[in-house]
Amino acid sequence: MKASRPALRYAKAILNLAIENSKDSLVNENMKLIAKTIEGSEDLKRMLKSPVVKPDDKKKVLLALFGDNVDNVIKGLFNLLEENKRMTMLPSIAKQFSVIYDSYKGIQVAKVTTAVVLTKELEEKILAKIVSITGNSASIENIVNPNIIGGFILRVGDVQYDASISNQFNELRREFDSSQNIPQI
């Protein structure tokens, strides 16, 4: 990703500023809102990437969308990105911010792959299980993959637990194949 290094520098600077002002958790929530909103709107993505739309107009749109819902640190970021003509980096900055914020707070990211979207109730159970296993809190990133048929695949750091139906089918297939290769006496 071309913009990842500069986005990381911006994200670190914003985190440092938020920590200095004791607004780190508020700014993190703001960044999550921004990332989610941009991810969910193709029009907003296109507008931010468009070389035809002036940076000042992009900032006006962002302030109209988020103005009352975000902290002054975020509004300062909008101004800085406008001045440097780097509005296209906002989605990357928001994502990078969440990653470094989680690292700063000691929060792990648990990737849970399921066949369907997780419910809030199930999410809470998974979070409780992660805390009991690792001793650390975690945030959940749900990846939907219908190919696993059912169950789930949990990945925290470099540890993976595969309780998917497709994995169980594969294990049965391997067991069946290996039992077929036993020489007859």
Q: What is the pLDDT of residues 129-159, one digit of tens each?
A: 888 877 777 888 899 999 999 888 988 877 8
Q: What is the pLDDT along the chain (185 residues), one digit of tens a residue?
A: 445 889 999 999 999 999 999 999 999 999 999 999 999 999 999 999 999 999 999 999 999 999 888 999 999 999 999 999 999 999 999 999 988 998 888 888 889 999 999 999 988 888 888 888 777 778 888 999 999 998 889 888 778 888 889 888 888 888 888 877 666 66
Count of helix runs (H) and strand runs (E) in the chain: 8, 4
Across the chain, the runs of DSSP E, i.e. the strands, are: 108-114, 138-144, 152-156, 159-162
3-class secondary structure, 153: strand
Tell me what pLDDT residue 100 has.
92
Tell me what pLDDT residue 184 has.
61
Whole-number Cα distances in Å, 41 to 7, 17, 36, 79: 20, 28, 9, 22
Q: For residue 144, how far is the Cα from the chain centroid?
A: 14
The 10s digit of each residue's pLDDT in 38-48 is: 999 999 999 99
Tell me what pLDDT residue 185 has.
61
Tell me what pLDDT residue 1 has.
44
